[in-house]
Amino acid sequence: MKKKVISTGIFVIPALFIFGLTSGFKFSDQKPWPVPDKYKTMKNTVASDAESIAAGKTLWTTHCKSCHGTKGLGDGPKAAQLKTEPGDFSKAETQSQTDGALFYKISEGRDDMPSFKKKIPDQDEIWSIVNYVRTLKK
């Protein structure tokens, strides 16, 4: 009886792995993204008001939506092409980060996430994106 279970496992486990690779499924292997202390405590210089959130949403649509999706769920049209998972910004994992940490990650980027400090040189605009990201929580 044990031989049957073992031989079934030999075929099922590789089949699931291959299915995962070919279906765009990403194994959650998010590596830590350290943020320098000066950014962790950095305060957002742009008030989170309707104007800032609207500006952040416009910038999001232009620069972020293709990977992160309309609602920040990590389901944008380019997400499946990425080597790293773009994350779900509605989750507490993202929402619990400081504004400064989000500012740093948007500005600096890493891996598939590009740096936006040259594409969006106005820091107030990056802060507006941070304000918009705060609206994506569940």
Query: Does pLDDT of 123 surpass 50?
Result: yes
The string of pLDDT tens digits covering residues 20-57 is: 433 344 444 568 999 999 999 999 999 999 999 999 99
Cα–Cα distance measured from residue 20 to residue 22, given in angstroms and rounded to the nearest whole number? 6
Q: Tokens representing 42? A: 């950095």
pTM of the model: 0.78
What is the structure's pLDDT at 20? 42
The end-to-end CA distance of the chain, in Å, is 48
Closest by CA to 133, choosing from 84, 98, 85, is 98
CB 79 within 8 A of CB 61: no
Q: What are phi and psi of 113, to 5 degrees?
A: -80, 115
Domains and CATH numbers, the chain: 29-136 (1.10.760.10)
Cα–Cα distance measured from residue 127 to residue 129, given in angstroms and rounded to the nearest whole number? 5
Using pLDDT thresholds of 50, 70 and 90, give the confidence band for residue 138. Answer: confident
Residue of higher predicted confidence among 60 and 29: 60
Query: Does pLDDT of 133 surpass 60?
Result: yes
Closest by CA to 128, choosing from 73, 54, 77, is 54
Q: What are phi and psi of 77, to 5 degrees?
A: -60, -25
| H or E stretch covering 8 | helix 2-22
Average pLDDT over residues 11-17: 44
